[in-house]
Amino acid sequence: MAGVIRPYSWGSRTSIAELQGRPTPSATPEAELWFGAHPGDPSTVIGAAGPVSLATLIADDPKGQLGAEVADEFGVRLPYLMKVLAAAAPLSLQAHPDADHARRAFAAQEADPDAPRNYTDAYHKPEMVVALTPFEALCGFREPAESAAALEALGIERLAPVIEALRKGTAGLGEAVRALLTWPADDRAALIDEAVAAGTSPLVTGLASHYPGDPGVLVALLLHHLRLAPGEAIWMPAGNLHAYLDGTGVEIMAASDNVLRGGLTPKRVDVDELLRVLRFEVLHDPVLPATELAPGVVTWKVPVREFALYRIDLGPASPPVRLPARGPRIVLGTRGDVHVAEAVDGTPVEITAGTAAFIPAETGPATLAGMGQAFVAAVAP
Tell me, what's the pLDDT at 344? 55
> Into how many domains does the chain fold?
3
Q: CB neighbours of 212 closer than 8 A, spacing ≥ 6? A: 189, 192, 193
Is 101 annotated as belonging to a binding site?
Answer: no
Q: Is pLDDT above 90 for 2?
A: yes
Q: Give 96-117 pLDDT, tens digit per residue.
A: 999 999 999 999 999 999 999 9
Of 205, 225, 245, at which residue does a domain stop? Answer: 225
Mean predicted confidence (pLDDT) in 64-78: 97
Is 38 annotated as belonging to a binding site?
Answer: no
What is the rounded CA–CA span in Å between residue 331 and residue 193? 46
Q: Domain holding 47: CATH number? A: 2.60.120.10
- Domain-embedded: residue 274: no
What is the rounded CA–CA span in Å between residue 68 and residue 366? 18
Residues 98, 240, single domain; the answer is yes
Q: How confident is the model at residue 343 (pLDDT cuts 50, 70, 90)?
A: low
Residues 96, 245, single domain; the answer is yes
Residues 157, 298, single domain; the answer is no
305 is catalytic: no
- Domain-embedded: residue 268: no
DSSP single-letter state for residue 229: P
Residues 195, 252, single domain; the answer is no
Is 96 annotated as belonging to a binding site?
Answer: yes
Range of the domain at 16: 4-135+226-257
Residues 21, 41, single domain; the answer is yes
Contact 245, 131 (CB under 8 A): no
Tell me, what's the pLDDT at 345? 61
Q: Give 209-228 pLDDT, tens digit per residue.
A: 999 999 999 999 999 999 99
Contact 77, 9 (CB under 8 A): no
Mean predicted confidence (pLDDT) in 299-312: 97
- Domain-embedded: residue 281: no
- Domain-embedded: residue 216: yes
Indicate the residue type of 62. P
Residues 239, 131, single domain; the answer is yes
Residues 147, 181, single domain; the answer is yes
Tell me, what's the pLDDT at 346? 65
Q: Give 130-189 pLDDT, tens digit per residue.
A: 999 999 999 999 999 999 999 999 999 999 999 999 999 999 999 999 999 999 999 999
Q: How confident is the model at residue 245 (pLDDT cuts 50, 70, 90)?
A: very high
Residues 248, 312, single domain; the answer is no
Mean predicted confidence (pLDDT) in 40-47: 92
Dihedral sign of CA atoms 260, 265, 268, 270 in order: positive
Residues 300, 365, single domain; the answer is yes
Catalytic residue among 77, 142, 261, 326: 261
- Domain-embedded: residue 267: no
- Domain-embedded: residue 108: yes
- Domain-embedded: residue 263: no
Q: How confident is the model at residue 48 (pLDDT cuts 50, 70, 90)?
A: confident
Is 127 annotated as belonging to a binding site?
Answer: yes
Residues 211, 340, single domain; the answer is no
Residues 199, 236, single domain; the answer is no
Residues 352, 326, single domain; the answer is yes
Q: Is 58 helix (H, G, I), strand (E, B) or coil?
A: helix
Of 185, 205, 225, at which residue does a domain stop? Answer: 225
- Domain-embedded: residue 305: yes
